[in-house]
Structures are given as C-alpha cells and as structure tokens.
Amino acid sequence: MQTEMESLFKDLVVIDAASFVAGPGAATIFADFGARVIKVEAPAGDAYRLLHGRHRFDFNWALTSRHKEAISVDLNTEAGRDILHQLIQTADIFVHNFRSDQIDRYDVAYERLRGLNPRLIYGQLTGFGTKGPDADKRGYDTTAWWSSAGILDLMKKGQTAPNFPVGGVGDHASAMTLFAGITMALYQREKTGLGDAVETSLVANGAWSNGMHLQGAIAGFDLSKILEEKGYRSPFAMIYETADHRFLVLVSPNPDKEWPAIARALGHPEWLEDPRFVTLRAIMKQRDEVRQLFQDAIGALTMIEACQALDAESLSYSVIEKISEVVQSAQLIENEVIIETHSEDPDFQWTVANPIKLSSLTHRPVGDPPKLGEHTYAILKDLGLSEARIDELIASKVVRLSQAVDPAS
C-alpha cells in the first residue's frame, strides 16, 4: 500500500534562511517529502519573490517555496536574532547562503548554533566556497556555475563570445547536492546522535558537472583550445535543422557501427558504397562534407519525418523542444515530472516535480506558496511567545505579518 511523501520526513523541521534558488531548492525537496519547512525572510521579503516582478504571479517563487511556512523577521535586530535562535533550537536542519559578514552579524556560525542544538544539521550554500580570495564574492549560477567552472568556455563558436546562459540551471543542480549532503548528515546523526556542518558551492557543482572536460584538461586534452582552433565539426554529434525549421540533435556514440544505419535512415544507402567513405577515418577526414550531406538530407524532411526515419533505425537523437512544449509533454506528465497542483491560480495549475522518486511514495499535493509573513504569528505562538510580546515585535517592526493574515484567527 502506498503512502504519501509527507510521511517520509514528517518528523523533520527545516529552517530555510537562504535566498534565491539553490539553498531554498534543497529545502523544497525536504518539504516535498513531508518535512515542516519554515522560510525565514527579511521584512522586505526575499528578492526572489520579485525576480519577474512585471508578471502578476511569482511563478519562480511558487516553484521553490511550495509547502513552506513563511515568517518575516529582521535579523539585524537582537530580538530578530533571538527568534531565529529559538527556531533553530527546535529544528533538525538549518539552511543558509549567508556570506561571512552576514554569518557574524546574524550570529549563525556553526559553532554557535551547535551549542544551541547539538543535533542540528547545518547546511551552507556558497557561490565560490568558504576559503580563498573569492570566498565572500557574491555568486550566482551564471557567474559561479556556468562561468567559473569553465562550462561557458565550451559553449562558444571558435573565438567568439558564448551566448549568455539561462539562469537557475546550476542552482537546481547545486540544490540536489546540498540535499544529498544534508541527507548524509542525517544518516550519520542516526549513528552518532550529533549533527554536522554540510557545505557545497555553485562553483564546486559546476566543476563536477564539467568534470569530463576538466579531467581532460588535467591530462593535457584541452577541449576549449581544440574548439577555438578547429571548431566542433563531428557530423555524428551535431545539431541539424529540418524542413519546417525545427532542430534536432544527433548523437552517435559509436559512429563506426552506426554509419550504415544513419545512411539508411537519411535515405542515402549509396553512401555505404562511396569510396570516399569506406572507413570512419576517411569519413572524419571529410567531416565538413559529411556534415553538409547530413544537413541536406535532414533539411529535406519535416521534423516528424526525420524522427520517424531515425526511430526506424533506433538511432540516438532528440528534438530540441520548445519550452512551451516541454510543460505540455505527455512523456513528462506520464512520468510525473510535470505535475498538477491544487492551486486555484490559473498560472499555477501545474509545476515541476523534484527528480527523486521512491516506488512506495506518491507526491505530496502542491498548493499555493506562502505570502510574505503569512505564518509569522502562528510560528511565534508555537515558540511560546505571548500575544503581548508578539504585538510588541510587530509594533517595533522586528517581525512582519502578511496583510492577509488576521492574528485573531
């Protein structure tokens, strides 16, 4: 009998004091599997709420803040820091992406918090690591994951500038690593009874993602230099355009074996008898011509026709899907990658699931993300603060309540 995901981590309390994407993304996965996650924001709110401020719905915020409770507290005040410390004393996991000056200002160094709660798992996400000259440099996935790890260097044509990368890709990859590290620390806590500090960075995750090419550079195979001098010209791993102006990427991991299948799929079996193409070495010496032959053949077919031809020979390829098509993909919906929500907002009828699946669990239903300070009052009451003290904190602007929240309720 299946149970809901909320049963897995239902006994865990996570304090998510991180901002933007990677750190909060790790906390989101715990929330997806049932943990109580309390999002700590400044009175002005996490800037991520307004990343696409012109759009009426904070869709980025909804993705990363589902299932969470929200408390708005000013950590620049002693009273605000006291509230955070009280929350941490009740928590299993604390997630943040503060720089060293903020760690000192907010009094959230690991040694300090371990004294308050020896079982605490302390999860820290940084841009460039906690040591070295860039330790306090502000980092985003565009700068730390894409750029500093060398990924963008491999995504340019010749010596021209690479295209500016899309945001959030490295953040979500790094969130998975932080989640995994915290889960490892929880497993260790089962054995020792003690918490631990977990740390990862955007640049470390970028380097791991780019590991094949970095290892090549270590061994003297500098793909970046090769691309600058010669370009990437293999016809067997290339993007091609169809007659109806769609694009597909062909990937042939064993071109010597798959050359006959490609020739048949593209409607040119005579290539197999052509003396210019008798060996793979001969083909690669004329790679530019072969690539053009592939393009001419694929360019004469519509996207559907090209897919049918390649599928008939069981070749590896993929259509470069448009974003609007991905979110309606029957394949992704069937595999619960794109899932329905319980929101009544027309812009949040569907969302993206985290990529972890356990056969014994079903998805926790997704509702609307919290408003700024929506649960401040209830969370403070749970901590044992009196109504009079909460009113004092509100009046002094140490905490903020959502305008939609009626404390009397």
pLDDT, one tens digit per residue, over 5-21 is 557 999 999 999 999 99
Q: 132 φ, ψ to 5°? A: 85, 175
349 pLDDT higher than 60: yes
Q: Cβ–Cβ contacts within 10 Å for residue 356, how many?
A: 13
pLDDT band of 408, cuts 50, 70, 90: very low
Indicate if 15 and 135 belong to the same structural domain. Answer: yes
Indicate if 164 and 306 belong to the same structural domain. Answer: no
Domain end among 288, 305, 324: 324
**The one-letter amino acid at 44:** A
Indicate if 145 and 258 belong to the same structural domain. Answer: no
The whole-number pLDDT of residue 4 equals: 56
Share of the chain above pLDDT 70, in %: 95
400 contacts: CB under 8 Å, gap ≥ 6: 43, 72, 73, 372, 373, 376, 394
Q: 174 φ, ψ to 5°? A: -70, -35
Average pLDDT over every residue of 83-102 = 98
**Distance from the first to the final alpha carbon of the chain:** 37
Indicate if 272 and 130 belong to the same structural domain. Answer: no
CA angle 112, 106, 101 (to 5 degrees): 100
111 pLDDT higher than 50: yes
Considering its fold, how many domains does the chain have in total?
2
- Parallel/antiparallel/unpaired status of strands 69-73 and 399-400: antiparallel
**Digit-coded pLDDT (tens) for 274-302:** 999 999 999 999 999 999 999 999 999 99
pLDDT band of 51, cuts 50, 70, 90: confident
Is 290 within a domain? Answer: yes
406 versus 226: the higher-pLDDT residue is 226
**Digit-coded pLDDT (tens) for 158-193:** 888 999 999 999 999 999 999 999 999 999 999 999
Is 74 within a domain? Answer: yes
Is 134 within a domain? Answer: yes
The whole-number pLDDT of residue 144 equals: 97
Indicate if 241 and 296 belong to the same structural domain. Answer: yes
**Digit-coded pLDDT (tens) for 205-255:** 999 999 999 999 999 999 888 888 777 679 999 999 999 999 999 999 999
89 pLDDT higher than 50: yes
The whole-number pLDDT of residue 406 equals: 45
Full domain range(s) for residue 20: 3-209+375-400
Q: Which residue has the tokens 């009052």?
A: 377
pLDDT band of 55, cuts 50, 70, 90: low
The whole-number pLDDT of residue 407 equals: 47
- Parallel/antiparallel/unpaired status of strands 36-41 and 13-16: parallel
The whole-number pLDDT of residue 232 equals: 66
Average pLDDT over every residue of 138-166 = 93
- Which CA distances in Å does 46 have to 18, 59, 72, 394? 9, 14, 10, 19
Indicate if 17 and 162 belong to the same structural domain. Answer: yes
SS3 387: helix
Average pLDDT over every residue of 289-317 = 98
pLDDT band of 399, cuts 50, 70, 90: very high
